[in-house]
Each structure stands twice: as C-alpha cells, then as structure tokens.
Amino acid sequence: MGKQSPGSSLLPWLGIAAIVVLLDQITKAVILRTLAVGDSHTVASFFNIVHWRNTGAAFSFLHASSGWQRWLFVGLAALAAVFIIWMLRRHGAQRLFAFALALILGGAIGNVIDRLLHGSVVDFIQLHWHEAAFPAFNVADSAITIGAGLLILDELLRVRRGR
C-alpha cells in the first residue's frame, strides 16, 4: 500500500460516505416521525420495522451505563473518521479497500449524528426467526458491517495475489 496516486481523489469516497449518511438519516427521520419508541410493525415472518434506541455500541454493549459511553463512542468515532480519511488519502486508488472504508466512515458519522442529536442511536431493522431476534440495527450499522466484510475480502484477495 503506497501513497495516493496523482489520479486518485478523496472526493468520490467522501461522496459515498455522504450518501450513506444521507440514507441513514432519512430512514431514521421517517422512523422518528412514524413510530413511538418500542413500536414494532411486522413486514414479513422474519422482519420487523421497530423503533429502538441504543445508548451503547454494537449489540447494545454498554447500553446500561450511566451516559458516559455516549461521549466515549462519539470520541472513538471521531478518531476513527480522522484515521479513515487519512487512509483514504493514502490509498484512494485501491478501489475495494477505499469503498469499504467509505462505507464504514458514512456509517460511523450517521451513528455519531444520532448520539449528538438524540443521545442514542435510532435502530429500526429487526430480523428474527421464531422467538429468536437479532438486535435491531439501522442503515449506518449495515454500511459498517458491509464495509468490514469488504475489508476482509480485500485482504484475502491481496494475500491471494501475493502468492
């Protein structure tokens, strides 16, 4: 991984991150306007639209803490955003790697906006099977998860090319 090539630009990757933030915030605004916290509407036998608030991190980690975690997660996301932008500047020509980072950046910013505006993250997608339910999530969480998966794929492809 070398420095940014003269032909690559940071703007397309920031644009992708901005699209993620926009989609995330639009979907959350719809949920905030249409459902009370705790409401649930069945869409399919395995899928509900819900309104849930998460003051913690992934899988509600630290959700029961007294509120200090809000600022911890905002700070961590800010540091991560700076690091991701630095990585995008250096490696923007590596398309899959940069696309993955852009998704993660957009997701992190989307959830930070929630923490700053609402004190918690608005989650609304719930997948379940019979009585077992996966924790509710949102567009930002989805982008972060897809981005992480693409980072793994990128590394596997890089290792394979190196053989």
Q: Tokens for 98?
A: 């940069």
Residue 36 CA to residue 109 CA, distance in Å, equals 24
Whether 123 is a known active-site residue: answer: yes
Let me know if 33 is exposed, middle or buried by CB neighbors in 10 A (0-12, 13-18, 19+).
exposed
Q: Which of 65, 146, 74 is nearest to 103 (CA)?
A: 146
Q: Are strands 121-129 and 47-54 parallel, antiparallel or unpaired?
A: antiparallel
Whether 141 is a known active-site residue: answer: yes
CA contacts within 13 A on the Cβ side of 161? 6
- Write down the catalytic residue from 24, 114, 141, 154: 141
Q: Give catalytic residues, as residue numbers.
A: 123, 141
